[in-house]
């Protein structure tokens, strides 16, 4: 009986270790909008050559701005490797493109549950441009041409109002309620909806709060 009770206690402790971080979560983060970091691409380019005045790389029109990101995650579901359903809103502080996403994330803990890696995929809509207006169209009035040229230099043509959101994070537990995450977020449609598909990458940090009792 003593041996059975001891075995039961050990099993219960191990179960607690694997479920103690299973509550729903909210997070707030600061994200660099347009970071030139795309780990799924063929190359990682951090230092692009400078272009002549008036020219800009496609997809880099909104680089150098900052987003505020709000995230909600459910508790892990009990199927398909226990994903968390997620909702995200990413708001650009400079009035450029903002994003709203729903999706799922999968997490794996290491180092006695204190560090975790996470990958996810989502579906996104945005309030930016599918195609920016052409500032070089013949016959435009000078005022309209200047307005379009400003859009051409500061707003990205995503090629679709619906985008995919592959993402990944590394988190560190501060205590049983709080964690910090380094995150990568990508938005593009892989030319599924048009040939125009510059995509955009974002890097940032999030502060995460878990609800519920420690299990």
pLDDT in tens, 133-189: 999 999 999 999 999 999 998 999 999 999 999 999 999 999 989 999 999 999 999
Q: Once rounded to an integer, what is the mean pLDDT over residues 37-56?
A: 65
pTM of the model: 0.83
Structure tokens at 151: 């859009």
Structure tokens at 6: 């001891």
Question: Rounded CA gap, 184 and 198, in Å?
Answer: 17
Q: Once rounded to an integer, what is the mean pLDDT over residues 55-71?
A: 85
pLDDT band at 1 (very low <50, low <70, confident <90, very high): very low
pLDDT in tens, 111-125: 999 999 999 999 999
Structure tokens at 72: 């909600």
Q: Is 98 exposed, middle or buried (0-12, 13-18, 19+ CB in 10 A)?
A: middle
The more confident residue out of 41 and 107 is 107
> What percent of the chain stands above pLDDT 70?
81
Q: How many CB atoms lie within 10 A of CB 126?
A: 21
Q: Using an 8 Å Cβ cutoff, are 59 and 41 in contact?
A: no
Single out the residue of 151, 157, 160, 170 nearest to residue 191, CA to CA. 160
Vertex 202: Cα angle to 199 and 208 (nearest 5): 140
List of residues 6+ apart from 134 with CB closer than 8 A: 148
Taking the alpha carbons of 175, 178, 184, 185 in that order, is the dihedral positive or negative? Answer: positive
Structure tokens at 2: 């003593």
Question: Rounded CA gap, 185 and 194, in Å?
Answer: 21
Q: Using an 8 Å Cβ cutoff, are 161 and 68 in contact?
A: no
């Amino acid at each position: 009986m003593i041996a059975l009770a001891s075995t039961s206690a050990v099993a219960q402790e191990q179960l607690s270790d694997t479920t103690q971080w299973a509550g729903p979560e909210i997070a707030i983060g600061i994200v660099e909008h347009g970071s030139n970091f795309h780990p799924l691409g063929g190359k990682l380019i951090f230092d692009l050559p400078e272009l002549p005045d008036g020219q800009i790389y496609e997809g880099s029109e909104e680089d150098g701005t900052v987003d505020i990101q709000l995230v909600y995650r459910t508790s892990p579901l009990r199927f398909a490797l226990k994903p968390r359903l997620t909702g995200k809103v990413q708001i650009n502080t400079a009035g450029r493109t903002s994003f709203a996403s729903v999706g799922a994330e999968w997490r794996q803990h290491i180092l006695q549950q204190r560090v975790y890696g996470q990958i996810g995929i989502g579906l996104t809509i945005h309030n930016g441009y599918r195609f920016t207006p052409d500032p070089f169209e013949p016959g435009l009035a000078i005022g309209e041409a200047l307005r379009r040229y400003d859009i051409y230099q500061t707003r990205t043509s995503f090629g679709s109002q619906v985008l995919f959101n592959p993402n990944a994070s590394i988190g560190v537990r501060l205590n049983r309620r709080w964690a910090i995450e380094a995150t990568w977020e990508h938005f593009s449609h892989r030319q599924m909806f048009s040939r125009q598909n510059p995509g955009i990458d974002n890097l940032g940090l999030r502060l995460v709060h878990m609800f519920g009792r420690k299990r």
